[in-house]
Amino acid sequence: MFKCSTLKLFPCIALAFLLAVFSVRGNVLAYESFNLNSNQDILIEDFESEDYGEWQVEGEAFGSGPAQGALPGQMEVGGFRGDRLANSYHGGDDSKGTLTSAKFEVKRPYISFLIGGGGYEGETCINLLSGGEVVRTAEGTNTQSGGSEQLMWDSWNVKKLHGKMVQIQIVDSRTGGWGHINIDHIIQSTKARRVVHDKQREFEFSSKYLNFPVKNGAAKRWISLFIDGEKVREFDIEIAPEDPDFWVYLDVSEFAGKTGSLQIDRCSTEWEMGFDAVYQADSFPGQDNLYQEKRRPQFHFTSRRGWMNDTNGMVYHDGKYHLFYQHNPYGWKWGNMTWGHAVSTDLLHWDEWGDAIHPDQMGTIFSGSAVVDHNNTSGFQTGSGEPLVAFYTSAGNNGQWSRGEPFTQSAAYSYDGGRSFTKYEGNPIIGEIAGGTRDPKVFWHDPTNKWVMVLWIKEDIFSLFTSDDLKNWQRRSDIPGFFECPEMFELPVDGDPARSKWVVYGASGDYKLGDFNGTEFAAETEKIKYEYGNCFYASQTFNNVPKSDGRRIQMGWGRGIKMTDMPFNQMILFPVRLTLHSTDDGVRMFANPVREIANLHNQHWRSSEKLVRPGENPLSDISGELFHIKAVIEPRGADKIEFIIRDTAVSYDSSAQQLSCNGKSAPADLENGKLTLELLVDRMSIEIFAQNGRIYMPMGVDLTGGPKSLGFSSEGGNAFIESLDVYSLNSIWLSE
């Protein structure tokens, strides 16, 4: 019992409170009350040095120092802080080792750390040692194939160890799959930093979109959407803990008026944004700047948001060209394969309708094709409209719902011109054949009155199947020599239908010519090189183009054209018309930009019958971003002629008769002493066509940082311009 005067009342009250804290809460929490810096974390180790310093290293698994992300043979590692982390994948999953820290005093109620890798208790783990004994432990999250090399927060409650001297031990004593551990940013903290599993949020859907913040390189998380207890969407996403690089959206308009439950598999308690920042609205962040972004191609199709690759399901129907494509709606990188969808009436201006076919229990949605079933052979038609029928690969082991399931072939149909699709209840229409069998291309064969499917089976084998009803398929024969993304069609030679040849090609575009009787393809040539650029892959041609048009129109993926710092990635190459022509080397397939390009022409500069001497530039007065250039040139005495497109050279070596650009080259023999060139110049590409389409060289190149000038030069002698037409082009997205 003690006494206080009135003047000393406040200090006495404070002292009484502190005594109560000691008696009720114990020494650990009382210590926190006295520690003026108790809200500050204490760093134990961030692994940012080139070596492990005072840490004791045993075995080979951790190497001689921290890793800078993923090690050779390892999947991408994310979620760590800074540039380095402790990673026991040195030498792969079969190496073993430990890291043991120096002793330190416990001064905070929690020890927190970022952890990933194998989830094997006691074998791929981090331990807290006190007196040489394990008093706390945690392991990674992965034990099955697949998984993610993303680090997430975890914490130990160490209040009872306050004031004791302890050590951290990181252990890898396991071999085989996920036989490694990843650790970073070990701290003493005043609050726990943990992973919350299967957190849910409820939404009453009254708007068009759910908007998600994305940070490239953040930990990938699995998001699921449930409607009336049924899972209707699932995808992974690099959800931003803070400062998103961009926002993506999930279109929920089909669920209007319903209540949905959005679930994330794991999230950190320390995130400021992430899952809690998801919101619904009738617009998405960045929509006001849509198609005006710095690296947005202006006459090549790109998706509003996310990654895109292979063209799929290309078909003409009811006045519209339908372009489907492999799409990750939720990230800048490949993943979550879904069929995106855009339509055009002129092959130039594209209206993105949104995602058409979504992943399901059978897997993600890989590449395929689409047809119009004019005669309702499938029986899918119930009204007056002809059904659109899409064929795709259900990639079973690429989706969270069905890991380990096989690759099979499936169908979906649309009654409303492609606005919505219903998956065939009898899927799969073709079961598992080999591990990765995929990419069904389907077309109608008039002479046999049957549907034909070309399917990549494995290695270098395509197989031909036939069907009467688009549901039941019989395997007929094989075509060797091609890898994935099959295409097959008939073309007249030199415009003469009586001399037609069948063309077969795979993802690279290199093709064979031959004859097809409805069940077997008889090749008449070896594989012939199609294109010479740096970005062409996985193209497809439109089915059902009207006979009155008669064109075979191809569009391919502009592979590797990275849209750095953009909310979208990759693009589709400009549509080309394919034709067969007789040459000195035999029949060859030519590619030329479709004639509709002329509808984008704006300003026009023309030069003809002009001699160009070394040092002269007849294009010096022209500048801009988007161009269509057509030229017929005689090199004459010039050793080299060259177009300079915003600092990027398109060159022709007269003696070698070789065309080149950015390290790629193609043989281009002069015809009657002349070189014919056609160039399509966009912000992220230059597509080169030479000798009237005999040479096709699509080049991905970022032109956004260079000058807007054009140049033409002659070296070593004079060149003669027979004709040179330069057209500036209007954007397909923005009105002038």
pLDDT of residue 219: 76
pLDDT of residue 401: 47
Q: Is the pLDDT of residue 226 over 70?
A: yes
- CA separation for the pair 664, 144 (Å, rounded): 42
Q: Which of 217-231, 322-336, 643-657, 678-692 has the lowest mean pLDDT?
A: 217-231
pLDDT of residue 5: 37
- Tell me which residue has tokens 């996310």: 306
pLDDT of residue 78: 85
pLDDT of residue 9: 38
Element housing 501 (H / E): strand 496-505
Q: Is the pLDDT of residue 4 over 70?
A: no
How many other C-beta atoms lie within 10 A of the C-beta of residue 721?
A: 19
Please indicate whether residue 76 or residue 700 has the higher confidence score (pLDDT).
700
Q: What is the Cβ-side half-sphere exposure of residue 193, based on CA atoms within 13 angstroms?
A: 18
pLDDT of residue 231: 95
Cα angle 685-686-687, degrees, rounded to a multiple of 5: 115
SS3 327: strand
- Mean pLDDT over 301-324 rounds to 98
Flag whether the pTM goes above 0.95.
Answer: no
- Mean pLDDT over 667-690 rounds to 97
SS3 199: strand
pLDDT of residue 19: 39
- CA separation for the pair 622, 702 (Å, rounded): 20
Q: Cβ distance 424 to 411 under 8 Å?
A: yes
The pLDDT-based confidence of 28 (bands split at 50, 70, 90) is very low
- Mean pLDDT over 414-420 rounds to 95
In 3D space, the residue among 640, 680, 633 whose CA is nearest the CA of residue 660 turns out to be 640
Dump pLDDT digits (tens) for 152-186: 889 999 999 999 999 999 999 999 999 999 999 99
Task: Name residue 385's amino acid.
Answer: G
Pairing of strands 306-317, 568-569: parallel
- CA separation for the pair 38, 31 (Å, rounded): 9
Partnered with residue 566 across adjacent β-strands are none
Provide the Cα torsion 512, 574, 302, 411; round to 10°.
-40
pLDDT of residue 22: 37
Give long-range contacts, CB 8 A cutoff, 24+ apart: 379-387: 379/469, 380/413, 380/415, 380/424, 381/415, 382/415, 383/415, 385/415, 385/416, 385/417, 386/317, 387/413, 387/414, 387/415
State what percent of residues in the chain have pLDDT above 90.
86
pLDDT of residue 397: 63
- CA separation for the pair 374, 449 (Å, rounded): 12
The pLDDT-based confidence of 141 (bands split at 50, 70, 90) is confident
pLDDT of residue 405: 73
SS3 409: strand
pLDDT of residue 147: 73
Per-residue DSSP letter, 187:
E
Partnered with residue 633 across adjacent β-strands are 675, 721
Provide the Cα torsion 180, 185, 186, 192; round to 10°.
-110
pLDDT of residue 38: 60
The pLDDT-based confidence of 11 (bands split at 50, 70, 90) is very low
pLDDT of residue 220: 81
Dump pLDDT digits (tens) for 500-524: 999 999 999 999 999 999 999 999 9
Element housing 19 (H / E): helix 9-25
Q: Cβ distance 151 to 219 under 8 Å?
A: yes
Domains delineated in the chain: 1-25 (no CATH), 42-193 (2.60.120.200), 210-281 (no CATH), 290-593 (2.115.10.20), 600-729 (2.60.120.560)
Task: Please enumerate in sequence order all residues whose Cβ is within 8 A of that of 595, keeping only pairs 6 or more positions apart, or say none.
Answer: 577
Q: What is the mean pLDDT of the chain?
A: 92
* Catalytic entry in 172, 265, 310, 355: 310
Q: Is the pLDDT of residue 3 over 50?
A: no
Peptide bond just before 667 cis, omega within 30 deg? no
Q: Is residue 198 flagged as an active site residue?
A: no
Element housing 23 (H / E): helix 9-25
pLDDT of residue 10: 39
pLDDT of residue 242: 82
Q: Cβ distance 337 to 395 under 8 Å?
A: yes
- Mean pLDDT over 653-660 rounds to 97
Report residue 211 as tokens.
Answer: 């908007």
Please indicate whether residue 28 or residue 94 has the higher confidence score (pLDDT).
94
- Mean pLDDT over 642-647 rounds to 96
Task: Please enumerate in sequence order all residues whose Cβ is within 8 A of that of 287, keeping only pairs 6 or more positions apart, or say none.
Answer: none
- CA separation for the pair 699, 534 (Å, rounded): 5
Task: Please enumerate in sequence order all residues whose Cβ is within 8 A of that of 425, keeping only pairs 6 or more positions apart, or say none.
Answer: none
In 3D space, the residue among 542, 371, 503 whose CA is nearest the CA of residue 444 turns out to be 371
Task: Name residue 598's amino acid.
Answer: A
The pLDDT-based confidence of 541 (bands split at 50, 70, 90) is very high
pLDDT of residue 576: 98
Report residue 385 as tokens.
Answer: 């409209």
DSSP 250-309: EE-GGGTT-EEEEEEEEEETT-SSGGGG-EEESS-TTGGGTT-STT--SSS---SSEEEE
Q: Cβ distance 720 to 611 under 8 Å?
A: yes
Chain centre distance of CA 622:
36
Residues in the chain: 736
**For the chain, give me the number of helices (H) and strands (E)?**
2, 53
Dump pLDDT digits (tens) for 436-495: 999 999 999 999 999 999 999 999 999 999 999 999 999 999 999 999 999 999 999 999
Q: Is the pLDDT of residue 20 over 50?
A: no
Helix axes 9-25, 27-34, angle to 10 degrees: 140
Peptide bond just before 497 cis, omega within 30 deg? no
Provide the Cα torsion 388, 389, 394, 399; round to 10°.
20
First-to-last C-alpha distance (Å) of the chain:
88
- CA separation for the pair 538, 558 (Å, rounded): 9
Report residue 108 as tokens.
Answer: 């905070």
Q: Is the pLDDT of residue 132 over 70?
A: yes
The pLDDT-based confidence of 39 (bands split at 50, 70, 90) is confident
- Mean pLDDT over 575-583 rounds to 98
Secondary structure of 442-495 as H, E, C letters: EEEECCCCEEEEEEEEECCEEEEEEECCCCCCEEEEEEECCCCCCEEEEEEECC
The pLDDT-based confidence of 301 (bands split at 50, 70, 90) is very high
CA distances from 7 to 3, 11, 15, 18 (A): 12, 9, 14, 19
- Backbone dihedral angles phi then psi of residue 586, each to the nearest 5 degrees: 110, -170
- CA separation for the pair 509, 507 (Å, rounded): 6
**Where does residue 549 rank: exposed (0-12), middle (13-18), buried (19+ CB within 10 A)?**
exposed
State what percent of residues in the chain have pLDDT above 70.
93
How many other C-beta atoms lie within 10 A of the C-beta of residue 574?
A: 23
Q: What is the Cβ-side half-sphere exposure of residue 672, based on CA atoms within 13 angstroms?
A: 5
The pLDDT-based confidence of 273 (bands split at 50, 70, 90) is confident
The pLDDT-based confidence of 404 (bands split at 50, 70, 90) is low
